[in-house]
Amino acid sequence: MSMIKVGIIGGTGYTGVELLRLLAVHPQVELKAITSRGEAGRKVADLFPSLRGHVGLAFSEPDPKLLAACDVVFSATPNGVAMQHARELLKAGTKLIDLAADFRLKDPAVWEQWYKMPHACPELLAEAVYGLPEVNRDKIKKARLIANPGCYPTATQLGFLPLLEKGLVEPGSLIADCKSGVSGAGRKPETHILFAEAADNFKAYGVGGHRHWPEIRQGLEIAAGRAVGLTFVPHLAPMIRGIHATLYAKLIDPKADVQALYEKRYANEPFVDVMPAGSYPDTRSVRGANICRLAVHRPAGGDTVVVLSVIDNLVKGAAGQAVQNMNILFGLDETTGLAAPALLP
């Protein structure tokens, strides 16, 4: 097939540079444009020396005509930006993959409640496909507009889905106890993510309400076919990359073979690794890789299921999953450009 012409809106954040790292070596991609109002005219490799010899483009002002000439545009921008470009790009026949939250929530009132701004194109919310391939692969193939999932939602949904799809757990009292590396807060100067603040420190945040909660609940309710009760507590961990989600649910059928359930559910998923019973996946085992590793436990053989789920928040939790969605969208092997193993140490 011919090369896929790709544009990126907002390439200066951590998800943007991770997207560039993956797309620069993708065998079917031709990078055509990378926009940044603040860095327009500056070479990408000058801002990110890690990309020297791989990306020759310079950042440019957003040019609607240049972006509309692309086959697909990734928006790696803050929340509220992609929805400003969506109508124009879709009208031009360009596919849009949004790495922010603009199209993840189906109800515009819920969006406004959590993101404190009116939605610029609520008529597109029904059409937007939630880009979790393990659930929506067939819809992704036909999509014009893909809402790339958040990092916490990816780890949490992949961990809970098999149990809810089969109705094996009580849906009213799910608990997601999640930890994220500092890069999840973005590439911006804020006191709480300074090295002297975040290193050698560990804390919870957003207990009263986090923007990823309605996104996670929305996905889990689709899987369960009914309302779910979810307690979601995120934590900031003193590491750069990674998410570790410890998930708790009460079994309805204590005789259920949950290990076999997970192995069967994800047997054909290239980017979900169900580890042997009794395993403890760690975040460094997925660093730089587009994979979710899962382990399932039943403490003391009781009726509580504990699922351990780890991802790299910038890869399977953001840029890698976006490339996975692009591969599906353009009929490529899903693993194209994403097959490299994790980095260690």
Return d(Cα 323, Cα 195) in angstroms, integer: 30
Radius of gyration, alpha carbons of the chain? 20
Return d(Cα 273, Cα 194) in angstroms, integer: 33
Which residues, in sequence order, are CB contacts of 5 under 8 Å at separation 6+?
30, 32, 69, 70, 71, 72
Q: Say if residues 16 and 81 touch (Cβ distance below 8 Å).
A: no
Question: Of 70, 121, 151, 292, which one is the catalytic site residue?
Answer: 151
Question: To which H or E segment does residue 151 belong?
Answer: helix 151-165
Instruction: Tell me the DSSP string of 249-316.
Output: EEBS-TT--HHHHHHHHTTT-TTEEEPPTT----GGGGTTSS-EEEEEE-GGG-SEEEEEEEE-TTII
Assess whether 151 carries a catalytic annotation: yes
Cis peptide leading into residue 214 (ω within 30°) = no
Which residues, in sequence order, are CB contacts of 189 under 8 Å at separation 6+?
none
* Region class of 209: left (phi > 0), else alpha (psi between -120 and 50), else beta: left
Residue 323 — φ and ψ, nearest 5°? Answer: -70, -40
- In the chain, the largest separation of any two C-alpha atoms, in whole Å, equals 63
What is residue 8's three-state secondary structure?
strand
Return d(Cα 332, Cα 113) in angstroms, integer: 38
Instruction: Tell me the DSSP string of 60-102.
Output: B---HHHHHTSSEEEE-S-TTSHHHHHHHHHHTT-EEEESSST
CA neighbor of 294 nearest in space, from 264, 318, 315, 263? 263
Report the catalytic residues. Answer: 151
